[in-house]
Structure 1
């Protein structure tokens, strides 16, 4: 009888231990930081839907980043605090700093996606070049938007300027347009605007380098930019002249896109950088919303032009804004495989 009781007790104890183990199992949780692939953001859920269908047991968390000032600041604070992060999608100028190989010995590193993907060769030849580090694919590009200039035709007409066709849009024409706008003394209107408080300024100014014929990565290996060239110097000289002549705000170094975008949307900038693929007036809902909110009193006409070309420059490459996807590694290979799958779905 004692033996029987002992056997029964052991069986009961085993069952309890097994049940405790089952209850203690937690689902895999991944933390996703993204500008355009966020969870629950309008228009982006569909991107993660195939992953969620493939891995219904994985719990995804959306990491909120400070978009207006510095997403990388939010990331750095999170990393320093030891909080988990598994995937990051952001503009290359921001997220590029996290393309770090494991061999660097840092607290975070990027997965070599070539070990997890069997279709790397399907990418357009050359587009992955900036993301290979010492034979490891530490990130992948994600096309985001066209970057060009908005011309507020309503403001320019009031200033007495009619822009030429885009093929004749030159640095000289741009300068004329800015000066005519300033001379017109239109209330609350700026000729143009620059800003440099955060990294978002890059999409606004890179086109000016292209227009002068500067080759930003002339060395070919993407390790450093080459703005210290005659063409690059011309860009800086032009900006300094504009600032001295009151064509851009004197406090440009202290401004960010949070200052710039409201002015552009309110129809207060004659010439402005644009990250959107379609002029605002071609999006009726957008213009309607600006009217309903009282941001504008009447619709305004706009045109989207490529950045102007300088004398001797035959054509200006169309600037595009690229995001980079980075899958962060860990010592848990099972997690790494799933994180790599997140990156694959985002790129697909």
Structure 2
């Protein structure tokens, strides 16, 4: 029987998008059930199985009650699988990561979890998870983009069943631009909405001049959460990749990316970028956006946009735009991916039962579509589209063509991301130029990659 490795792993917080959604219409095809979950009648296992499901707020909280929707999912699952008891425990984004660390170290990890690649792939690399290859049929594999499958696998082993996705982009307060007569400065007349760095600067300048009570753009560097927003922002402003295509080393430390970071630093001084960025978190910036005090926010997505429907403190219409690039070329958008994993707690019956729960959540003819909509995200399956009657979701579907290689799959990623924000802070407080900060980050990150590769060979 396989047991967990002891000792608290160095698991790092990753901003997971809290996925709440206002009710929307749907015209999507119903997801088809995979081979792992063909049962449509109660199973006849001789002995009842009890499993524990730990879940971050991956679904909309019904009636303000966190976990209420998940309980409905479990009740529906039990109608078809009465011999499987599912114990639900909801995690918070603040305390959840440490609770998982302690559970893993004490061999009390849950059986199944809904999470994101940042943690799941790290667990997979540490041999803590049960492979899900038997659940990924050819139909599923051919219907999920390579960028998303990369975030679900370690080597040739699938450790996360991909369910919902969304491109990380800019969130824009469209109402502000309408009020100042500058809507024409946004690339909304272009089907792909791509725009250049110069066009972006003009839009920010217009906000500064015509809406002095609104901060043109956001930035943050206080904690590890939301790092995907800042790295994609700088990567696109500098037309640079974050890693080389083979993930062998960092590639963002280019002269152009350094100049982009220098522009952000100067932008704070010029009041084009929020002041005190070095001490702000991604959540702080999103709060400013919700208050109508920020025109353009980073780290946005259809999922966060859905959550914000009920959290806005000011009335405004928010829209999605891709990150600008130097020459208006196609941007590189990092894909958010949510999915489920099974811990290998040494009990084959619990592993099998956990897989049945995953298959039900992802592929049940009725609940599969419901669950997708409840996340506020897009389907990880290319064939399942049109879930929402909303032009911003229609654009988000199109923006999936800009998906780039996800940094989360790099060897040593859990350590690499700890070096990112400290270097941004050094630049923001004037202790390093943009290029110096990115070079320092690259040096440390490359050492982490080398170390991780060496450990993997042991």
TM-score by length of 1: 0.71
Q: CA deviation at 1:111?
A: 0.9
Show the counterpart of 1:34: 56
Pick the aligned partner of 2:294 from 269, 275, 278: 269
In structure 2, stretches of 5+ residues that fail to align are 1-46, 364-458
Show the counterpart of 1:195: 220
Structure 1 segments, 4+ long, off by >4 Å, are: 37-40, 42-50, 157-160, 222-225, 277-280
* 8 Å contact from structure 1 (residues 93, 202) kept in 2: no
Provide the rounded CA distance (Å) in 1 between the counterparts of 2:276 and 2:220.
8
The question of 1:113 aligning with 2:132 is answered yes
Equivalence map 1:54-133=2 (5 Å): 54-67=80-93, 69=94, 71-102=96-127, 109-114=128-133, 116-117=134-135, 119=137, 122-124=140-142, 126=146, 127-133=148-154
Distance 1:251 1:117, change over 3 A: same
Report the secondary structure of 2:294's partner residue. Answer: coil
Provide the rounded CA distance (Å) in 2 between the counterparts of 1:65 and 1:210.
33
Q: CA deviation at 1:90?
A: 2.3
Show the counterpart of 1:150: 171
The question of 1:136 aligning with 2:157 is answered yes
TM-score by length of 2: 0.56
Show the counterpart of 1:309: 325
Deviations 1:25-56 (A, max 9, x none): 98513132234259963655565566433432
Deviations 1:145-176 (A, max 9, x none): 34322322333355563424344632112222
Provide the rounded CA distance (Å) in 2 between the counterparts of 1:206 and 1:164.
19
* 8 Å contact from structure 1 (residues 71, 94) kept in 2: no
* 8 Å contact from structure 1 (residues 94, 199) kept in 2: no
Structure exhibiting the larger radius of gyration computed from Cα positions: 1
Show the counterpart of 1:169: 195
In structure 1, stretches of 5+ residues that fail to align are 1-24, 103-108
Provide the rounded CA distance (Å) in 2 between the counterparts of 1:56 and 1:174.
56
Q: CA RMSD in A?
A: 3.6
* 8 Å contact from structure 1 (residues 111, 340) kept in 2: no
Show the counterpart of 1:341: 356
Pick the aligned partner of 2:212 from 178, 181, 186: 186
Count of residues in correspondence between the two structures: 303
Distance 1:200 1:48, change over 3 A: farther
